[in-house]
């Protein structure tokens, strides 16, 4: 690779200055969340004054019946306030009233019996959305956690598409589904219906694939302009920003200047730059500086996906990383982050090899992996070179710390839920040859043991850190295994970090999982329990909410404790049972 791929301490962006506006230009355009200013202002005035009895839509004496009335609740409002006892009235897709509402008429009355009512949880990185219609039962993995909204996209995204990138389009009930842009994709999802709200960003890896393919090349000025137009198209269709995943080919080949030029288009629409940074270990501080340089150059806020300091020797860097972000925020730049509450991450096994080997494309490289001499060279590189995101060194150079959770059909299924060392025994070979064989087969995902609990505690003490699952919706009936975070990330925050470890309060945990995340996504009518806000609500006993999924064979157990879950005012979990309702929406900026 050329030097343009290295992480600069302070990259120069002058080479593409013609593509970068002096500041973000707001574009007025139609949006489903337009007109929320009055409800939002009313919500905050309500919270400040405690006068949350009525919605602003009618006179104070409005006694119109509610569709649903939740009584005897402890309300944790999502703003970080101490819980308070109240009833919550829902009318249509909105919260109509909060306060003493006993005796009011309602089509349905739910006695919370001193359970907690909170806003629906917001997953800051929930991966794929197409699975919601190709495998609808998969949504239960998120809904059982209390998640009512998630952000889809991490460098990859369902749009834009081209004939080359969509060679194997999905087929549902005999219908072949094709689309090119988000407006077409959204229409498809809406025609089938979904049970959960989804927000999308424009994946810059996907933009690169459409225009440049998968090799290590830099765009010409004409190609860069084509890429910018694809970003513009996605933002016009309702995306909330752009995203990158800079440790994976071909995203790793993008220069900082290229990313500034593309992110600046999102800035014209008030979008955000979301990033899986170029490094999450020894160079995490340099990676944060690159991310903020991109945000500054493009005129956009920055959000860092699954912030971590991977590898035992790098664990102390988490405190420095959080301090660096805090200092940038103090200086006036809007930078936030999220984490998942587990000390094993999830990654493709092929990422254990240096990304430069994929410069001519993944397929071309994998075809060479049968060569014993090349395997010996690669092993030596992995064992001795630490100047890159070396996941083998991050797990203590021990294949027992690398758990296999998914594999292609070409791989013996008996290796799933085993470490690479254990898989070697199944395959009748040594761990290194098992590793190379599995990489060559393709499609192998692993959960390396790379973090410690102390860095999670540090993240929970930083007020700008949110929560993600970093996982697509998963159907246990059609999937061999998964990372437990797909099933338990949000309940685990309450069960472990609130109840067990006492790192944060319930009110603070809920704030991070609701209003903080909703506001980052521009969803200002969600994330707060107050009149006029969207009726995305969770009812649960905070002593009973818990994650059940564990690493290994128990990774796909549903979380327990969500008794009622409302999405846009409709029950998708009713007294602990899933309903068939599909009230979810594609939320557009």
The pLDDT tens digits of the residues spanning 450-489 come to 999 999 999 999 999 999 999 999 999 999 889 999 999 9
CB-based contacts of 173: which residues, under 8 Å, 6+ apart? none
Q: Is 4 exposed, middle or buried (0-12, 13-18, 19+ CB in 10 A)?
A: middle
Rounded distance between C-alpha atoms, residue 146 and residue 586, angstroms: 18
Q: Is 207 left (phi over 0), alpha (psi -120 to 50) or beta?
A: alpha
Instruction: Quote the longest CA-to-CA distance of the chain.
Output: 82
- List the end-to-end C-alpha distance of the chain, in Å, as a whole number: 37
Q: What is the dihedral of CA 479, 480, 483, 486, to 10 degrees?
A: 20
- Per residue in 278-290, pLDDT tens? 999 999 999 999 9
CB-based contacts of 125: which residues, under 8 Å, 6+ apart? 150, 151, 153, 154, 274, 305, 306, 338, 468, 469, 470
Pick the CATH number of 3-30+121-346+461-526 from 1.10.8.60, 3.40.50.720, 3.20.20.140, 3.30.70.20: 3.20.20.140
pLDDT at res. 6: 41
Rounded distance between C-alpha atoms, residue 145 and residue 121, angstroms: 8
pTM of the model: 0.88
pLDDT at res. 3: 40
Cβ neighbours, 10 Å, residue 422:
19
Q: What is the dihedral of CA 33, 34, 39, 41, to 10 degrees?
A: 110
Which regions of the chain are under pLDDT 50?
1-39, 42, 44-61
CB-based contacts of 212: which residues, under 8 Å, 6+ apart? 219, 223, 227, 250
The arrangement of strands across the sheet holding 347-348 comes to 347-348, 445-448, 402-406
Rounded distance between C-alpha atoms, residue 304 and residue 513, angstroms: 16
Domain coordinates of the chain in residue numbers? 3-30+121-346+461-526, 359-448
3-state SS, residue 24: coil
């Amino acid at each position: 690779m050329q030097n343009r791929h290295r992480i600069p301490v302070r990259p120069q962006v002058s080479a593409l200055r013609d593509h970068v506006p002096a500041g973000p230009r707001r574009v007025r355009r139609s949006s489903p969340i337009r007109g929320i200013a009055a409800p939002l202002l009313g919500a905050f005035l309500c919270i400040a004054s405690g006068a949350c009895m009525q919605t602003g839509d009618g006179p104070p004496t409005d006694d119109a019946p509610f569709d649903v009335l939740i009584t005897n609740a402890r309300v944790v409002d999502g703003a970080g306030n101490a819980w308070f006892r109240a009833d919550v009235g829902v009318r249509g897709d909105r919260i109509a009233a909060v306060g003493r509402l006993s005796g009011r008429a309602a089509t349905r009355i739910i006695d919370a019996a001193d359970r907690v009512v909170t806003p629906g949880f917001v997953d800051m990185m929930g991966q794929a959305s197409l699975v919601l219609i190709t495998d609808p039962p998969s949504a239960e993995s998120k809904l059982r956690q209390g998640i009512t909204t998630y952000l889809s996209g991490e460098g990859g995204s369902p749009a834009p598409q081209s004939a080359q990138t969509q060679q194997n389009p999905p087929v549902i009930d005999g219908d072949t589904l094709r689309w090119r842009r988000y407006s077409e994709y959204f229409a498809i999802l809406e025609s089938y219906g979904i049970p959960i709200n989804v927000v999308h960003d424009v994946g810059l890896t996907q933009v690169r694939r459409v225009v440049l393919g998968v090799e290590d090349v830099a765009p010409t000025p004409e190609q860069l302009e084509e890429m910018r137009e694809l970003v513009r198209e996605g933002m016009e269709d309702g995306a909330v920003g752009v995203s990158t995943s800079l440790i994976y080919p071909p995203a790793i080949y993008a220069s900082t200047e290229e990313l500034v030029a593309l992110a600046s288009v999102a800035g014209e629409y008030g979008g955000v730059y979301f990033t899986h940074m170029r490094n999450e270990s020894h160079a995490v501080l340099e990676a944060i500086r690159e991310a903020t340089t991109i945000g500054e150059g493009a005129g956009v806020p920055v959000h860092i996906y699954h912030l971590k300091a991977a590898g035992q020797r790098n664990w102390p860097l988490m405190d420095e990383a959080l301090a660096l972000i805090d200092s940038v925020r103090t200086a006036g730049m809007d930078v936030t982050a999220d984490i998942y509450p587990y000390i094993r991450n999830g990654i493709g096994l092929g990422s254990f090899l240096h990304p430069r080997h994929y410069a001519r494309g993944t397929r071309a490289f994998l075809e060479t992996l049968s060569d014993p001499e090349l395997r010996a060279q690669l092993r030596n590189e992995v064992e001795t070179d630490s100047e890159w995101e070396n996941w083998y060194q991050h797990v203590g150079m021990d294949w027992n710390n690398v758990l296999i959770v998914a594999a292609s059909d070409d791989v013996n299924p008996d290796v799933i839920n085993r470490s690479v060392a254990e898989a070697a025994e199944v395959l009748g070979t040594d761990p290194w040859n098992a590793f190379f064989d599995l990489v060559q087969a393709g499609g192998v995902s692993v959960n390396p043991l790379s973090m410690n609990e102390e860095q999670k505690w540090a993240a929970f003490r930083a007020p700008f850190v949110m929560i993600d699952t970093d996982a697509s919706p998963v159907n246990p009936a059609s999937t061999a295994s998964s990372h437990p975070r797909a099933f338990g990330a949000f309940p685990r925050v309450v069960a472990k970090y609130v109840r067990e470890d006492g790192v944060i309060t319930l009110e603070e945990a809920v704030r991070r999982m609701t209003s903080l995340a909703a506001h980052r996504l521009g969803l200002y009518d969600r994330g707060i329990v107050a009149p006029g806000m969207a009726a995305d609500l969770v009812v649960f006993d905070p002593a009973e909410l818990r994650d059940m999924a564990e690493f290994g064979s128990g990774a796909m157990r549903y979380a327990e404790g969500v008794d009622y879950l409302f999405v846009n005012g409709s029950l998708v979990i009713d007294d602990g049972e899933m309903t068939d309702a599909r009230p979810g929406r594609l939320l557009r900026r």
